[in-house]
A and B are shown apart, each in its own frame.
Chain A
Amino acid sequence: MNILVSWLREYVEVPDSPEDLARTMSVRGFSVEGIESSGDGDAIVDFEVTANRPDCMSVVGMAREVATAYNLPLRLPASPAADSGTKEGKDGGVSDGVPGSVIDIRIDDTDRCPRYVGAVVDVHVAPSPAWLQARLQAAGVRPLSNVVDVTNYVLLELGQPMHAFDLTALAGGQIRVRTARPGETLRTLDGQTRAMTTDMLVIADGERATAVAGVMGGGDSEVTPATTTIVLESACFDALSVRRTSKALGLKTEASMRFERGADPNLPLVAMQRAVALLESIGAGTLRGAIIDRYPAPVQSRSLRLRRTRLAEVLGAAVPDGDVRRILRSLDFTAGADDDGWDVGVPTRRVDVTREVDLIEEVARHYGFDRIPVTFPPPAAAPRPLDPRIMRARQLRGVLTGAGFSEAVTFGFVAAAAAAPFAAEDDIVPIANPLSETFAVLRPSALPGLIDGVAHNRRRERRDVRLFEIGARFGRARGESQAVACAWTGLAAPAHVSGTGRDVDFFDMKAVVERVCETMGVTADVTSHTVGWLAPGRSAAAHVGDTRVATFGQLAREIAHTNGLSDDPVYVADIDLDAILRVGAERHIRVEPLPRYPAITRDLSVLLDDTLAAADVRQTIRHAAPATLIHIIEFDRYQGKGIPDAKVSLSLRLTFRSSERTLTDADAQTAMDQVMAALTAAHGAVQR
Chain B
Amino acid sequence: MPEPVDRATIEALRADFRARLSSSATDRDLQTLNDDFLGRRSGTVTGLLKSLGTVPANARRDIGQLVNTLKREIESAIHDRRAALASSRPPADAVDVTLPAREIPIGRVHPLMRVRQQVEDIFARMGYEVLEGPEVEDDYHNFEALNMPPDHPARDMQDTLYLNAPIAGGTWGAHMDPVPEAQVRAATLLRTHTSAMQIRYMKTFPPPIRIIVPGRVYRRDSLDLSHTPMFQQCEGLVVGPGITLADLKGTFEAMLRELFGDVRVRLRPSFFPYTEPSAEIDISCQSCGGDGCGTCKRTGWIEILGSGMVHPAVLEAVGYDPEQVTGFAFGIGMERVAMLKYGVDDIRLFYENDLRFLEQFPV
Contacts and interface: CB of A to CB of B under 8 A. Distances in A.
Interface in A228-274: 239-240, 243-244, 260-261
Nearest to A257: B153
Interface stretch (A4-12, A106-114, A468-476, A564-572): A468-476
A347 interface: no
Interface string B128-167: 1111101110000000000000010110110001111101
A376 interface: yes
Contacts of A468: 107
Interface stretch (A124-132, A163-171, A404-412): A404-412
Contact of A480 (B156, B171, B228): B171
Interface in B201-240: 205, 208-210, 214, 216, 218, 220-222, 228-230, 232, 238, 240
A456 B157 CA distance: 33
Given A404-B105, A478-B168, A50 B110 contact: no
B86 interface: no
A372 B268 CA distance: 12
Interface stretch (B21-29, B61-69, B112-120): B112-120
B103 A494 contact: yes
A51 B326 contact: no
B179 interface: no
Interface in B83-98: none
B33 interface: no
A383 B208 CA distance: 10
A387 B269 contact: no
B363 interface: yes
A250 B227 CA distance: 24
A476 B107 contact: no
A496 B102 contact: yes
Q: Considering residues A240, A377, A379, A411, which has the most beta carbons from chain B within 10 angstroms of its beta carbon?
A: A377
Interface residues of B, number: 99
A433 B353 contact: no
B181 interface: no
Given A376-B250, A411-B351, A472 B216 contact: yes
Contacts of B120: 390
Nearest to B170: A480
A591 interface: no
Contacts of A300: none
B107 A403 contact: yes
Interface string B249-281: 111011000000000001111110100111110
B244 interface: yes
Contact of B100 (A388, A407, A496): A496
Given A260-B153, A355-B312, A403-B107, A376 B187 contact: no
A472 B230 CA distance: 13
A467 B271 CA distance: 40
B106 interface: yes
A393 to B, nearest CB: 8
Contacts of A381: 208
A64 interface: no
Contacts of B131: 386-387, 390
Contacts of A388: 175
Interface in A459-496: 460, 462, 465-468, 471-472, 474-482, 494, 496
Interface stretch (B37-45, B74-82, B354-362): B354-362
A644 interface: no
B319 to A, nearest CB: 18
A479 B154 CA distance: 28
A388 B157 CA distance: 33
Closest 9 pairs (CB-CB, A-B): A316-B244, A316-B246, A404-B105, A479-B168, A50-B271, A29-B269, A361-B277, A453-B353, A406-B107
Interface of B: 99-100, 102-110, 112-113, 117, 120, 124, 127-132, 134-136, 151, 153-154, 156-157, 161-165, 167-171, 174-175, 187, 190, 205, 208-210, 214, 216, 218, 220-222, 228-230, 232, 238, 240, 242-247, 249-251, 253-254, 266-271, 273, 276-280, 299, 309, 311-313, 326, 350-356, 358-359, 363
13 contacts: A314-B244, A355-B313, A357-B277, A361-B276, A369-B269, A369-B279, A372-B246, A389-B132, A404-B107, A409-B232, A412-B190, A412-B230, A479-B169
Given A383-B210, A456-B353, 6 more contacts: A369-B245, A375-B249, A383-B127, A431-B164, A497-B100, A498-B102
